[in-house]
Amino acid sequence: MHIHILGICGTFMGSLAVLAKNLGHRVTGCDANVYPPMSTQLELAGIELIQGFDPAQLKPAPDLIVVGNAMSRGNPVVEAMLDLGLPYVSGPQWLREFVLQDKWVLAVAGTHGKTTTSSMLAWVLEYAGMSPGFLIGGVPRNFEQSARLGETPFFVVEADEYDSAFFDKRSKFVHYGPRTLTLNNLEFDHADIFPDLEAIQRQFHHVVRTVPANGLIVAPAGDEAIDEVLAQGRWTPLSQFTVLEGAEPIRENCQWQARLLAPDGSHIQLIFEGQPAGEIQWGQMGMHNVKNALCAAAAAHNVGVTASVAAQALSEFTGVKRRMECIASLNGVNIYDDFAHHPTAIKSTLAGLRKQVGGEKIIALIEPRSNTMRLGMHQDTLALSCEDADLVLWFEPEGMNWSMQAVVDASAVPARCLSSQTQILETIHKELTNACHIVVMSNGGFGGVHQQLVTMLEQQQEQTV
């Protein structure tokens, strides 16, 4: 079968393309911006890429068109597809029909941490010898690939609540039919398609309705937004997790718990059904990753992985590219690439780093790139999210619907608003000290500023030699 993918260079659609190719199909695709690294990955897989949306690419007609959710009416190739009456499906529907049928699907949902938790879960299953398939919205360093078919019925999927396609406004995860569903957390996000938290909760309950009675739902204890979702109706057993504070005694009626053995979350005691089950010592940090680990361990247990094996596996988890990934360490300066683009994620990430580095200088460089951030939905909480930094540099791109100066004015720590890459480099150059940590936060490429900072440090190093 010839499958043609519209909008192929997004992480989700690119991963679908790789799975389709591995299933033996001829796969082609198009996008507005065909560039590395996704273009390189797809070309290495033998997938032909077309720049742009010229309708001529549909001649001869493919057997099936998979439409990415970035595509909309008015796009030339979309209009040609409809005019010609060609068969088409959304990406999530294709995944369900071609890959997930007859699989034990372990779906990871939540506002934050989906990519990291999915990566942890896939690695725990791999470590346990279960060779799972997976589709993850990032590249786990334990696998160095974002998707594979696997060799067993188990399939881990990052379950996104964003809509499926221009013709299917249901959340992607409604298509997946999970037997094991994790709901890691839930906050308001995606303001471009959801008017409020209640609308997102409605979609989350839709996926809860699809989990069979002999499956499992994993959720945090005491998360009000998730509790409200489950109160709408639940037909599946529930396994809950929590993190113990300080010397807090082990709680009853909470199956999975963790106690911090290091304040930054780099050393954890895993507790299962009231008994210590092992320790996790790893290179991850922050309360968010402790909760991600609990979520992954609980989901893996549902398919037969013991708590002690999960602890061993997680101790060897090496992280995800672009999730607090240290991309350079030169002259006492560390540069991190991080995907955080929501106040809660920003706050947790910086808090974890502060506990790890103590009084050393932290510079947070943040691009408000997501649709929700650009609409200004979180502007009242952004300043508070950065209190663990010593300096916050906010990048204000063209086309913002609001001024970021209000965030700077409300900041309890020194903050500045910058509008160009030149300003960023000049400002950071002046602020550098020994033992300095620069955290670049964006869910996009940020104009290549990461590599520009690395180059600046390398040039400084050459000048001092």
State the CATH number of the domain containing residue 172.
3.40.1190.10
> Is the confidence at residue 316, as pLDDT, over 90?
yes
- What pLDDT sits at residue 423? 82
> Which CATH number goes with the domain that contains 20?
3.40.50.720
Quote the domain boundaries for residue 32: 2-92
Q: Both 224 and 290 in a single domain?
A: yes
140 has which bridge partners?
320
Asked whether residue 272 falls in the same domain as residue 183, the answer is: yes
CB-based burial of residue 26 (10 Å sphere; 0-12 exposed, 13-18 middle, 19+ buried)? middle
Q: Percent of the chain having pLDDT more than 90?
A: 53
Q: Are residues 404 and 292 in the same domain?
A: no
- How many angstroms separate the most distant Cα atoms in the chain? 68
Tell which wins on pLDDT, 77 or 411: 77
Residue 444 lies in a domain: yes
CB 68 within 8 A of CB 168: no
> Residue 286's pLDDT is what?
84
Query: DSSP per residue over 211-261, as a string?
Result: S-TTSEEEEETT-HHHHHHHHT---S-EEEEEEE-TTPPPPTT-SEEEEES
Q: Identify the band that residue 425 occupies on the pLDDT scale cut at 50, 70 and 90.
A: confident
Omega before 60 within 30 of 0, i.e. cis? yes
Residues 111 and 88 in one domain: no
Q: DSSP assignment, residue 175?
A: G
Residue 172 banded pLDDT, cuts 50, 70, 90: very high
What is the tally of structural domains in the chain? 3
Tokens of 151: 């060799």
Looking at residue 334, its pLDDT comes to 86
pLDDT (tens digit, 9 = 90+) per residue, 41-91?
A: 788 888 999 999 999 999 999 999 999 999 999 999 999 999 999 999 999
Q: Answer for the pair 103, 155: CB distance below 8 angstroms, yes or no.
A: yes
The whole-number average pLDDT for the span 150-160 is 96
The pLDDT tens digits of the residues spanning 356-395 come to 888 889 988 888 766 555 555 566 677 788 888 889 888 8
Look at residue 142 and tell me if it is in a domain. yes
Q: Which two tokens stand for residue 305?
A: 């992985």
Query: Would you place residue 324 in the very low, low, confident or very high pLDDT band (cuts 50, 70, 90)?
Result: confident
In a domain? residue 265: yes
In a domain, 97, yes or no: no
